[in-house]
Structure 1
Amino acid sequence: MTPDAARFSASWVAAWNAHDLDAVLAHFADDVVFTSPVAARILPETGGVLRGKDELRRYWAEGLRLVPDLHFTVERVFAGVDVLVISYRNQVGSLVDEVLRFAGGQVVAGHGTYLAESGDDPAGLATAGD
Structure 2
Amino acid sequence: MPTPDPQRFARAWADAWNAHDVEAVLAHFHDDVVFTSPVAARVQPETGGVVHGKAALRAYWNAALPLIPDLHFEVLGVYAGESTLVLHYRNQGGGLVNEVLRFDNALVAEGHGTYLVEPD
Q: TM-score, normalised by structure 1?
A: 0.89
Rounded to whole Å, the distance in 2 between the matches of 1:60 and 1:74 is 19
* Aligned-partner Cα distance in 1 for 2:40–2:64: 9
Write out per-residue CA displacement over residues 1-54 of structure 1, whole angstroms, 9 at most, x where no aligned residue: 200100000000000000011100000000000000110000000000000001
Indicate the residue corresponding to 1:54 in structure 2: 55
- Identify if the C-alpha distance between structure 1 residues 93 and 44 changes in structure 2 by more than 3 Å, giving closer, same or farther: same
5+ residue gaps in structure 2?
A: none
Amino acid at match of 2:7: A
Letter matched to residue 43 of structure 1: Q
Q: Which residue of 2 aligns with 1:23?
A: 24
Cα displacement (A) at 1:84: 0.1
Question: Match of 1:125?
Answer: none
* Residue identity matched to 1:32: V
Structure 1 residue identity aligned to 2:89: Y
Q: State how far apart, in whole Å, the 1-side matches of 2:43 and 2:56 are.
A: 12
Mapped to 2, the partners of 1:55 and 1:67 lie a distance apart of 19
| AA partner of residue 90 (structure 1) | N
User: 1:118: Cα distance to partner?
Assistant: 6.3
Q: Distance in 2 between matches of 1:58 and 1:68?
A: 17
**Unmatched segments (≥5 aa) in structure 1:** 120-130
Runs of 4+ residues deviating >6 angstroms: none
**Residue 114 of structure 2 corresponds to which residue in structure 1?**
113
CA shift, 1:117, in A, is: 2.3
Report the RMSD for the aligned CA atoms in angstroms: 1.1
- What amino acid does structure 1 have at the position aligned with 2:10? S
Distance 1:26 1:76, change over 3 A: same
